Structure 1
Amino acid sequence: MKGYIVSDRVKVGLALLSTYTIWGSTYLGMNYALQSIPPLHLSAYRFLAASVIMMLFMRWRGASFPSVRELLGGMGVGVILLGVGNGGVVLGLNYHIPTGLTALILASSPIWAAIFGGFWGLWPNRREVIGLIVGFLGVIVLRFDGQIQAAPMGFIFLMLAAMGWSLGTVLIPRVRQSPNAYMASGAQMLGASISLFIAATLTGEQVTQAVTTTSLWAFGYLLIFGSLVGFTAYSYLVPRVRPALAISSAYVNPMVAVLLGTMLNQESVSAYMLYALPLIIGGVLLMSFAKLKKQTVTEAVA
C-alpha cells in the first residue's frame, strides 16, 4: 500500500465498488436479454458495440490507437477473458439455470485465478490454499443442486466461464497491450466479439425471432454498465492488485444476483445454495484479503 498515493487508493476502491455492484446485476440483465436474443449473438454484439464506442471515444480524447502487436495481444486476452468467460455465462443461463445460482458458480473464479497464478510464480500461500479447499467444497455441494442436475451442460459451461475469466485475468498484465487501459479494454472486447461471432457461425446459431423491448433495454444496460463501465473498472484493477483481489467481486456478485433474482424474477433459493454460499464466499474471502501491489500507477493507465 505504501506505493500508492491517496488518489490511487480511491480509484482502486471505486473500481472495486463498481465491479461488486454492477456485475451482480448483469446476470439478471443477461437473463432478460436472452428472452429473444441468442446467447452467442448477445455477447458478440454487446462487445463489438462497446469496443467501437470505447476506442473511438478515447481516440477523440487524444489517445493513440494500439499498435498491431498491442492490438493482437489485447484481442488474444479478450478471447479467453470474455469470449470464454462471458460466452460460457450466457450459454449456461440459456439452459435456464437461475441467475443467483449462476453467480454463485462464478464465485469460484478467484479459486481458479489462484491456481492459474501459480503458473507465473504467484503460488497460493497457506491461507489461500485453505481458501481453495473450502471454496471447492462449496462448488461440489452446488453440483448436487436439482437445478444443476437437470442441466449438466449448463453447469459445464459456467465452470468453463469461471476458468476462462480467471485465466484471462492472470494474462492481462503479462501480455503486451496498449498502455491506455481503455484502449486495452476495447481491444479485448473486439477480440471477444470476433471469437463469439465465429462460434455462433460454427454452431449455426441464428436470430430467429423479433427482438423484444425488454431484451433491447437489457442489452443497453449490459452494453453501458456491464461492458463500458464495469469491464473498464476491472481492467483498471488487474495490473494493480493480486489476481485474487481483482476478481474478488465474485463474492459480492452472488449476493446481489440472488437478491435481484428473488425480488424481480421470482427465483427460489435452494438448500444446496444456502449450504454452498458460506463455503464459496468464505473460501474466496480467505484468498482475497491480500495487499495491493506496491507499484506506482502511471499517467498512461490512470
Structure 2
Amino acid sequence: MSKAAPKTDWKIILAFAAVYIIWGTTYLAIRIGIESMPPFIMAGLRYVIAGVLMLLYIKIKGEVVIDKNVTSNFLLGAFMLTCGQGTIFWAEKYVPSGLTAVLISTAPIWYIIADKRHWRTYFTSKLTMFSIVLGLVGVWVLFKDQAVIGTSSKMIYIASAVIIISCFCWVTASLWYKYNHTPGSLFKNIGWQLMGGAVACLLVGIPTGEWAQFHIADVSVRSWCALFYLAIAGSIVAFTAMFWLLERRPAPIVGTYAYVNPVIAVLLGYLVANEIITTSQVFGMVVILLAAYLANKVKFSTAA
C-alpha cells in the first residue's frame, strides 16, 4: 500500500515567504526613508510604531501586557534591533541597498558558526555544507557586478564592515531567543523587543547628533510611506514570522532568507531605481535560489 503524501504546511510556507520577500524589499525602503530622515531616528520611529501596535493587539486580546519577562525582552530588543539592524540604516547612507542585502546574505554562515550546540550535525551534513558554498558562490557573482557609485571608497569599506558585524549581532541574538526565549505570547515578546529597540535607537540619535539635525517638517511623503511600510510589513509581519519559524525549524534553514533577500533587492533596484542587471547577476540569483531550496531540503536530526 502506498503511503499518503505528507500534508503541506501552508503556515510554514507563508512564514518563509514573508521573510524571503518582505525583507528583500526593506533595503530599498530604508534607502528611501533616510533620504529625509536620520537613520537611527528612523529606525527608532519604525520600532515605536510596530511595538505600540503589537502591544495594543495583546491588550485587545485580553492578555497581560506587563509581566516578569518584560525586562529580558526589552534588553534583547535593544541589542538586536540597534546593533543588529539600526546600524544598517546608518550603513545605507554609504552602501547601495542591493549591496547591503548581498552582505547580509552571509547570515547562514554566521548561524552555523554561532550555533555551537549543533556543530556536530551541521558539519556532518554534506548537503548543508554544499548549499552554503553554493549560496556564497551566488552571492559572489552578485557582489562582483554590484556598482558602487557616488561615495568615498573608505566609507564604503567601513559601512560594509559595519553591516557584517550587524549581521553577526542579529544572528547571535536570534539564537539566544531560540534557545532561551521567555514563555508566553510571541506577540508580547516581540512587542517589548521592538520597544527596546525603539528606545535604544532613539537614544543613539543623541550622541550622533541626529536629533539636532532632525526637523519633522523636512520629512518627505516618500520617507513617511517607507517608514510605515518598514514598521508594519518589515517589523510586525516578517519579524514575527522569523521568530515563529525559529521555534519550528533549525536556525540555518531559517537563515536562508538572507540568500533570497539580495535577489529581491537587486530586482527592485532594476524595476524601481533603474539599475542595470547583468547576465552574470541573473545567473547569481538562480544559484542563490537553488542554494536556498537545497538548504530547506536538509533533514536535520536536531529539534526545530
1:258 to 248, 256, 266: 266
Provide closer, same or farther for how the CA distance between residues 10 and 132 of structure 1 changes in structure 2, counting only shifts above 3 A.
closer
Percentage of identical aligned residues: 25
Superposed CA offset, 1:210-267 (max 9, x none): 1111111111111111111111111211111100121222222111111111111123
Partner of 2:210: helix, strand, or coil?
A: coil
Is 169-178 or 37-46 further displaced after alignment? Answer: 169-178
Change (3 A) 1:212 1:55: same
Pairing partner for 2:108 from 110, 130, 135: 110
Alignment of 1:242-281 (within 5 A): 242-269=250-277
**Does the CA contact (< 8 Å) of 1:241 and 1:292 recur in 2?**
no
Deviation at 1:279, TM superposition (A): 6.7
Superposed, which structure 2 residues align to 1:116-155 within 5 Å?
Answer: 116-118=114-116, 124=122, 125-133=125-133, 135=135, 142=143, 147=148, 150=153, 151-155=156-160
State the Cα distance separating 1:200 from its structure 2 match: 1.8
Deviates more, 1:113-122 or 1:168-177: 113-122
CA contact (8 A) 2:54 2:187 kept: yes
Q: CA deviation at 1:63?
A: 2.1
CA RMSD of aligned residues (A): 3.0
CA contact (8 A) 1:110 1:284 kept: no
Ranges in structure 1 where 5+ consecutive residues have no aligned partner: 297-302
Query: How many angstroms does 1:103 deviate by?
Result: 1.2
Shift of the alpha carbon at 1:126? 3.6
Provide Cα deviations, 1:142-168, integer angstroms capped at 9, x if missing partner.
489662982112211211222122112
Residue 17 (structure 1) aligns with: 17
Unaligned residue ranges in structure 2 (runs of 5+) = 1-5
Aligned equivalents of 2:42 and 2:251: distance in 1?
Answer: 28
In 1, the alpha carbon distance for the partners of 2:278 and 2:171 equals 27
TM-score (norm 2): 0.82
CA deviation profile, 1:7-49 (whole Å, cap 9, x unmatched): 8x22122111111111111111111111111111111111122
Evaluate the alpha carbon distance shift between residue 144 and residue 203 of structure 1 in structure 2; reply closer, same or farther with a 3 A threshold.
farther
Deviation, structure 1 residue 282: 5.9
> 1:26 matched to which residue of 2?
26
Q: Residues 117, 214 of structure 1: CA spacing in aligned structure 2 closer, same or farther, 3 A cutoff? A: same
Q: Name 1:98's counterpart in structure 2.
A: 96
Which residue number corresponds to residue 169 of structure 1?
Answer: 174
Cα 1:122–1:266, aligned 2, differ >3 Å: closer, same or farther? farther
Q: Give yes or no for the alignment of 1:191 onto 2:196.
A: yes
1:240 aligns with 2:240: no
Amino acid across the alignment from 1:113: Y
Aligned equivalent of 1:204: 209
Give the corresponding residue for 1:42: 42
d(CA) in 2 for partners of 1:31 and 1:281?
A: 24
Instruction: Confirm or deny: 8 A CA contact 1:245 1:288 kept in the other structure.
Output: yes
- Three-state SS of the structure 2 residue aligned to 1:202 is coil
| Cα distance between partner residues in 2 of 1:122 and 1:59 | 43
Q: Give the counterpart letter for 1:30 in structure 2.
A: I
CA contact (8 A) 2:48 2:194 kept: yes
Between 190-199 and 16-25, the greater mean CA deviation after superposition: 190-199
Q: Max radius of gyration: which structure? A: 2
> What's 1:230 paired with?
238
Going from structure 1 to structure 2, the CA distance change for 1:285 and 1:49 (only over 3 Å counts) comes to same
Is 1:47–1:189's contact at 8 Å kept on the other side of the alignment?
A: yes
CA contact (8 A) 1:131 1:284 kept: yes
TM-score where L is the length of structure 1: 0.83
- How many residues are aligned here? 289
Separation in structure 2 between the aligned mates of residue 133 and residue 294 of structure 1, nearest angstrom: 22
Deviates more, 1:122-131 or 1:210-219: 122-131
The C-alpha deviation readout for 1:108-164, integer Å capped at 9, x for no partner, is 111111111125656523433444455556667748966298211221121122212
Query: The residue matched to 2:62 in structure 1 has which SS?
Result: coil
CA contact (8 A) 1:111 1:284 kept: no
